[in-house]
Structure 1
Amino acid sequence: MAKAIMIQGTMSNAGKSLVTAALCRIFHQDGKRVNPFKSQNMALNSFITAEGAEMGRAQVVQAEAAGVKPSVLMNPILLKPTSDSGSQVIVNGVAIGTMPAVEYYKYKTKLIPDIMKAYNTLAEQSDIMVIEGAGSPAEINLKAQDIVNMGMAKMAKSPVLLVADIDRGGVFASIYGTLMLLEPEERAMVKGVIINKFRGDVSILKPGLDMLEEKTGIPVIGVLPMMNVDIEDEDSLSERLTQVKSKNALIDIAVIKFPRMSNFTDFNVFELIDGVSLRYVKSTEELGNPDMIILPGTKNTIDDLKWMRQNGLETAVLHKANNGTVVFGICGGYQMLGRSLSDPFGYDSGHAGSVTTGMALLNTETEFVEKKRTIQMKGHFNRVEGIFSGLSGREFYGYEIHSGITRLEETKALNTVEPINEKAEPFAEGSQTVRSGMQVYGTYIHGIFDGEGIAAKIVEALLARKGLSMDDVKVIDYQEYKQHQYDLLAQSVREHLDMEKVYAIVEKGLDE
């Protein structure tokens, strides 16, 4: 059975996911068989595995860092918020329903057998398991039913490293307070503290570190700097979502920041093209005059369309589309661009029998159904009309996550696709409207922009429209870039974390 180490945090966004990815990379570099694990994740950014199972993207990133294929075993429970008080519950990659928070709180301990089956299966294939917690282990109102922090550490018999974010301030209080709110036996499981996102001279911090160790009896095994690495983010806390237009940008791409936006990592590839500004907007004032508008995926298509309607963004997008601005919809954004969205059983809107008028920029109609489609796809662009004609024939890989069935005009289909791991005939997918200056495109395929040369072709077309060429920008290979970032992350953590101590903690485990 594998050894284990668990990364918990004093709060959300303390850096648990990043430290977990770093340790996965370091152990992998050191020749260890390593797998990441998070029993329960809450995020709208998800991924579809080769088996068609849905899991959180944070564990996909960690799997890439570990040099292994993503598996739903790494994240057996995924919660996708549908409202402020409820989430769709996904177990072993399959949605089992939507539950209010109170109902799920009472239900979740029934999932412990699923959690441990997934963990033990992975552990049998590993030398080291790197487990990530969620939120804070000191959420005392939730501890009785905990399955993701100390509850998981106990089940896995794993020592714990506690990560704290110094950049927010109050780091010593957050560490001490967290530890003091743990039960004595839980506190004994914490074998080291990591301070994250530090700026400055560590020597100035040392008196505080010494006092912290004296008061808690737990060593500080690393002070990690504010790292200049580009690793995919897990959720809406991402700093990417607050970026503004670069003054030197040649191309400006605006992504509509829906309240329930999902899979915004679909667009990270554009950030790697020098001269491109990718920004997320939630008002007409922020929209400005972009070269392309993207409507991303969303967990609630109808509600987010109504949100656009209420704040004026729909009118603004329609106006710009009719005046030649390129509009591209992905998944839920693609559904919105059609003529209508019917929800006969209330699966999307919660109101059975509702029919919502779409933006009517694409000649499509969507009906929401109970069964969620989660599948990896391969395909190619058909004859693309208009500005993106250079995409015609280009191949791509990606995945679908949606519960709607969209009827389309096949002569205007954007793509031809087929499942990667199922026997099925290729079929038409996506849509396009190119007329009188209007250039609107839509697809269900997440990850379509990651295909070789596809993002570059899109930028090339947008540049040509302004009398510029690709000679004016630099394009980076996305996959090579990601691997390089994992190596940079591992290098920085090795330099600032006592890896000998980490290995000793892993080896000793909880045996004392």
Structure 2
Amino acid sequence: MVLGTSSHVGKSLLTAALCRIFAQHGHRVAPFKSQNMSLNSAATIEGLEIGRAQALQAEAAGVAPSVHMNPILIKPSGGNSSQVVVRGKIWGRVTAAEYHQRRVEELLPIVRESYNALAAEYDVVILEGAGSPAEINLKQHDIANIRMAEMADARCLLVGDIDRGGVFASLLGTLELLEPKERELVRGFAINKFRGDASLLEPGVHTIEDRVQKPCLGVIPYVHSLVLEEEDSLGLPVVTQAQWTSGLDRSSHRRLRVAVIALPSFSNFTDFDSLRSEASVSLLFCRTAEAIAQADVVIVPGSKQTVDDLLWMRSQGLDVAIQKHAQTSLVVGICGGMQMLGETITDPLGMEHDGTVAGLCLLPIQTTMQADKVTRNVKGKMAAAALFGQSITDCQLSGYEIHIGQTSYQSETTHFAVLFSERGTADTSKDGCVSIDMHVFGTYLHGIFDEDSFRHQFLRAARSFHGLSAPRDLHLWKQLREDSLNRLARTVEDALDMEMIFDWVGLPYKKTASEIHSHLREGTAG
């Protein structure tokens, strides 16, 4: 089990790396996180919802994601309440106090069943903790850390993040706050995201080893330029508007400026990782009308609280800025963002916000919130042979839907896409909408930019609309992700004492053929 001294120390990516390492050594391995709090989610093959981090970890392990890998997903809804998703479906909405004081014990048997299901099917299960195991105010009802380690009889690796500072204090403090029996579950610790001269770190490492009487299994270097999604919004890139607009290049080869509205309840921000990776794109998460005015494309993303975020945009004057932008430039709405671009959003059941609210009226659609959530993976194709008024070739689409709104379209609506479930083509359906002037489109598809064919044609069409040259270099996203996972796994395998980790789970460790070959090459070069 990977435990952390706090949130965002790298637990999720380290778990993904370990999944990839065990898989490369020929073992069937699965990730498991009993309780995840995140607005980033993914759809399983069965059309059920889990945390996006667990879907990435399953990808690293080379297995299909399952609801058993993340039986409880908590999605903050604002107002000190959260939507609780249990085994992929909405279970209810509760306050933080109610959840910790009353509901946790009710859900514990479900967590146990899911873990046992994975343990029966796989050789190795890599568990990920949540936050810190030493949150003493919540520990009594914490089912994501020590209690889960006890249930699984897991050997725990405690991870600290040196990039944020205070790593020695956080490692020592975490262990000191654990009870003696709990401390015994932690077999060792590791330091993550290190930059610099490792020799300068050694005195501190030895001191902590002596103080806690546990070994340091390694110091993991900071791995740059990974195209792997982060667990939460702390991982969003920090790019300021001043940096984005400084020295605006007016040449035809300049980058396409894409502004994504950073909504208060921004969900699935990983939708834009593939766009950010393209050399021909400059992407900014923004909250100002000034940034919208300077953008080539404005994207209104998914939201956990669609109406609340729409009202927030209105209070900031962003609605008017987007409407003005759409008159001469390009606007895209993803999921909740598409709903906001429509005429009205009605919530008769109070799922997110009571009543009816007017949208931005950029698309001729109306949305009604419903109790049941639509969750599915889909494939499809563009409904028309044009995007932003620019001709495109036959364009395949793929992605996933996670929403509770039912959108109605006018009879003359130009749809964005024709979709079919990944299970087959029998349930073909229409998705999204395109404005009459073709400046605006909306879609329910998350992950739409991850499909190389669509992303490449989107960039060509948007750049052509603005009189910019075609992009010189275009990435293959799936290959970039594979390369990143393999690079991360190699870095972690080189940094950690893998013989000890394999021994924890009762398996012998042998270097892979590629690793042996790599070391031989290095030795020859030396």
TM-score (norm 1): 0.93
Deviation at 1:240? Answer: 2.5
Aligned equivalent of 2:123:
127
Aligned equivalent of 1:118:
114
Question: Which of 13, 18, 23 is residue 13 of structure 2 equivalent to?
Answer: 18
Question: Which of 325, 328, 331 is residue 332 of structure 2 equivalent to?
Answer: 328
8 Å CA contact retained: 2:390, 2:465: no
8 Å CA contact retained: 1:410, 1:428: no
Deviation at 1:410? Answer: 4.5
Aligned equivalent of 1:469:
469
Aligned equivalent of 2:186:
190
TM-score (norm 2): 0.91
**CA gap 1:120/1:141 in 2 versus in 1, 3 angstroms:** same
Show CA shifts across 1:334-385 (max 9, x none).
0000011111121121x2xx11011000000111111111122222111155
Deviation at 1:15? Answer: 0.8
Aligned equivalent of 2:176:
180
Match runs of 1:409-448 below 5 Å: 409-411=410-412, 412-421=414-423, 424-435=426-437, 439-448=439-448
Q: SS of 2:435's equivalent?
A: strand
Mapped pair 1:245 → 2:240: no
Whichever residue aligns with residue 481 of structure 1, its letter is: L
Deviation at 1:415? Answer: 1.4
Unmatched segments (≥5 aa) in structure 2: 509-526
8 Å CA contact retained: 1:409, 1:431: no
Question: Which of 309, 312, 317 is residue 304 of structure 1 equivalent to?
Answer: 309
Q: SS of 1:500's equivalent?
A: helix
**CA gap 1:451/1:423 in 2 versus in 1, 3 angstroms:** closer
Aligned equivalent of 1:315:
320
Q: SS of 1:11's equivalent?
A: coil
Aligned equivalent of 2:501:
502
8 Å CA contact retained: 1:39, 1:74: yes
Aligned length: 497
Taking the aligned partners of 2:57 and 2:79, their CA distance within structure 1 comes to 28
Q: SS of 2:506's equivalent?
A: helix
Whichever residue aligns with residue 431 of structure 1, its letter is: C
Q: SS of 1:245's equivalent?
A: helix
Whichever residue aligns with residue 109 of structure 2, its letter is: P
Deviation at 1:94? Answer: 0.5
Aligned equivalent of 1:76:
71
Mapped pair 1:490 → 2:489: yes
Mapped pair 1:54 → 2:46: no
Whichever residue aligns with residue 75 of structure 1, its letter is: N
Aligned equivalent of 1:204:
200
Mapped pair 1:146 → 2:148: no
Q: SS of 2:423's equivalent?
A: coil
8 Å CA contact retained: 2:69, 2:115: yes
Whichever residue aligns with residue 92 of structure 1, its letter is: R
Taking the aligned partners of 1:434 and 1:55, their CA distance within structure 2 comes to 36
Taking the aligned partners of 1:23 and 1:400, their CA distance within structure 2 comes to 29
Taking the aligned partners of 1:391 and 1:157, their CA distance within structure 2 comes to 55
Report percent identity of matched pairs.
Answer: 44
Whichever residue aligns with residue 343 of structure 1, its letter is: D
Taking the aligned partners of 1:180 and 1:410, their CA distance within structure 2 comes to 65
Aligned equivalent of 2:456:
456
Show CA shifts across 1:27-85 (max 9, x none).
11111111000000010010011101000000011111111111111100000100151
Taking the aligned partners of 1:25 and 1:208, their CA distance within structure 2 comes to 30
Deviation at 1:234? Answer: 1.6
Mapped pair 1:337 → 2:341: yes
Whichever residue aligns with residue 250 of structure 1, its letter is: R
Show CA shifts across 1:152-205 (max 9, x none).
000101010000011111111111110000010010110010111111111111
**CA gap 1:386/1:166 in 2 versus in 1, 3 angstroms:** closer
Whichever residue aligns with residue 458 of structure 2, its letter is: I
**CA gap 1:51/1:391 in 2 versus in 1, 3 angstroms:** farther
**CA gap 1:308/1:95 in 2 versus in 1, 3 angstroms:** same
8 Å CA contact retained: 1:273, 1:456: no
